[in-house]
Homo-oligomer: A and B are copies of this chain.
Amino acid sequence: MTEPASTTARDSVSYLLRSLSKVLAEDHSREIQKAVECFTTANKLFVYGVGRSGLAARAFAMRMVQLGLECYFIGETITPVVEEGDAVLIVSNTGSTMSAIQVANIARRVGAKVVTVTGHRTSKLSHASNVVLCISDNHDAMRPRLAPLGTLFEAACTVLLDGVVAQVMERLGQTEADMRARHAIMV
C-alpha cells in the first residue's frame, strides 16, 4: 500500500476506457449520418452546451471551423442570429438544462435543424430535436468513485464527436493539411 492514490487514477482510467468501449459500441450510424447531413448542408452551424458538455461542444466547433464550415458557439462574443437553413448542435447530458431547451425551441421556430447529443432520450430537449444521439451511462457500484457525475457522458461525447469530425472531413473531402492551414492563431 505504498502508492494507493496512484492506483486510483489508474483504476479510473481503466474504468473509463472499458466504459467508453461499451457505450460507444452502440450503433449510432443512422443518427450520425443525419447529423453530418445537417452540419454539411446548413448555411451556418451553431453549437451550444453548458459546463463540461459545453466544452465537448466547443472542441467539436473548433474542428468544424478548421474544416471550413461557418460555425459559432452560442453565448460567446461572436454569434450571429440563427436563421432558417442553419443547424444547431446541442450537448446536454440531462437534456433538461433550461437554456439548452430554449436554444432548441428558438432554433426550431426559425426553421433551423437541431441535433442533440444527450444521455436522456426522453428529455424535453430530445423532443425538441430533429436528430438525437443518445449516449448510455453505466450504473455499476464503482462509477461514483471512478467516473463521478457526468464524467463518462462527457468523455464518450468527446470521442463520438471526434468520430463525427472524421466523417464530416471525409464528406467535405478535407485533409489534415487543409485543417492545419485553417488553424487559428494560438498565442
Is the beta-carbon distance between B166 and A11 smaller than 8 angstroms? Answer: yes
Q: How far is the CA of A33 from the CA of B59 in the complex (A)?
A: 28
Once A16-B162, A79-B184, A185-B103 are accepted as A-B contacts, the answer to whether A144 and B175 lie under 8 Å apart by CB is yes
In the complex, which residues of chain B have a beta carbon less than 8 angstroms from the beta carbon of A9? 28-29, 32, 36, 160, 163-164, 166-167
In the complex, which residues of chain B have a beta carbon less than 8 angstroms from the beta carbon of A139? none
Nearest CB of B to A81, in Å: 5
Per the 8 Å Cβ criterion, residues 56-76 of A in contact with B are 56, 58-59, 61-63, 65-66, 71-76
In the complex, which residues of chain B have a beta carbon less than 8 angstroms from the beta carbon of A41? none
Total interface residues on A, CB under 8 Å, equals 85
In the complex, which residues of chain B have a beta carbon less than 8 angstroms from the beta carbon of A51? 62, 184, 186
Q: Tell yes or no: A130 within 8 A of B by CB.
A: no
For residue A53, which residue of chain B has the nearest CB? B186
Per the 8 Å Cβ criterion, residues 3-49 of A in contact with B are 3-13, 16-17, 20-21, 24, 28-30, 32-33, 36, 47
Q: Tell yes or no: A125 within 8 A of B by CB.
A: no
Once A3-B33, A80-B182 are accepted as A-B contacts, the answer to whether A165 and B187 lie under 8 Å apart by CB is no
Nearest CB of B to A152, in Å: 9
For residue A186, which residue of chain B has the nearest CB? B50
Nearest CB of B to A130, in Å: 17
Q: Tell yes or no: A1 within 8 A of B by CB.
A: no
Is the beta-carbon distance between B162 and A147 smaller than 8 angstroms? Answer: yes
Q: How far is the CA of A99 from the CA of B183 in the complex (A)?
A: 17
